[in-house]
Amino acid sequence: MRGSLSLPMLKTTLIKAAHAGAAEILRFYNGIFKISNKEGVNNLVTEADHAAEKAIIEVIKSTFPGHQILSEEVGELIQESDYKWIIDPIDGTINFAHGIPLNCVSIGIEHEGEIIMAAVYNPHLQEFFFAEKGKGATLNDKPIRVSEQTQTIKACLVTGFPYTYINTVNGPLEIFERFVRKGVPVRRLGSAAIDLCWVAAGRFDGFYEHKLEAWDSAAGYLIVEEAGGKVTDHEGNKFSVYQHRVLATNGKIHDEMVAVINNTQEL
């Protein structure tokens, strides 16, 4: 059951787990570590990913041994529990492997199908984003809010591209071109969790991507919503972390971005 007594313990464990994963990131960062490939030539997994994942799961299991876990590298550890921890031990592995300090630990806690708590921690910048359902979002314990931009043409956007995808009609490149040909700045940081958190913090006005997994979006999704933003699929429908396409904005440019993404309106 989700009771008031369990929430402080969940929060404490979540924060501890994020710090444990981050400690492994820093331990391996700019050092020598093993790298292997998953699907796609640049879809990497490193020794540090596995070490961070192990450290995170050990912290969770020490307090909540019966909870379910869904993590990028080990997959799903199914148990009889209403709670699921959705983990990306290093979001932005390519960045990490190249010594680029835009990578992070991302952990969301799901209860009965709803994300109720989330943490994203970039130890390089010492930025710890946190959100609890109904209680707002913070960066290093200070409240954050989405931007006030009302026009997409004046927005600063961020996106990412899948490692493998068919070059389909209305695919990532076509949509990217629609924005940049109109002069809209669209950044590509290489970490969806950071992208989402930076929307929450008002640094970006909107983020869209075509092929995310639950561990990419679970934490950042809640952080955006708790910062006053809006998250849907590309058609504007209710978002689920288990579907691939995400659009996250400050809410004020959301409908316009949906229209541009679906090619029903020009900027």
**The residue to which tokens 């190249």 are assigned:** 98
Residue 205 designated active-site: no
Residue 49 designated active-site: no
Residue 88 designated active-site: yes
Among the listed residues 93, 138, 232, 249, the single catalytic one is 93
Helix (H, G, I), strand (E, B) or coil at 185: coil
Among the listed residues 87, 90, 223, 261, the single catalytic one is 90
Helix (H, G, I), strand (E, B) or coil at 86: strand
For residues 105 and 115, what is the distance between their CA atoms, to the nearest angstrom?
17
Taking residue 221's Cβ as centre, other Cβ atoms within 10 Å add up to 27
- DSSP-derived secondary structure for 230-243: EEE-TTSPBP-TTS
Among the listed residues 24, 53, 72, 256, the single catalytic one is 72
Q: Kindly state the helix (H) or strand (E) to which residue 95 belongs, with its residue range.
A: helix 93-97
Residue 35 designated active-site: no
89, 93, 96, 100: CA torsion to nearest 10: -120
Residue 91 designated active-site: yes
What count of Cα atoms within 13 Å lies in the side-chain half-sphere of residue 232? 15
Among the listed residues 110, 132, 195, 216, the single catalytic one is 216
Among the listed residues 24, 88, 205, 226, the single catalytic one is 88
Among the listed residues 24, 49, 53, 91, the single catalytic one is 91
**Active-site residue set:** 72, 88, 90-91, 93, 216
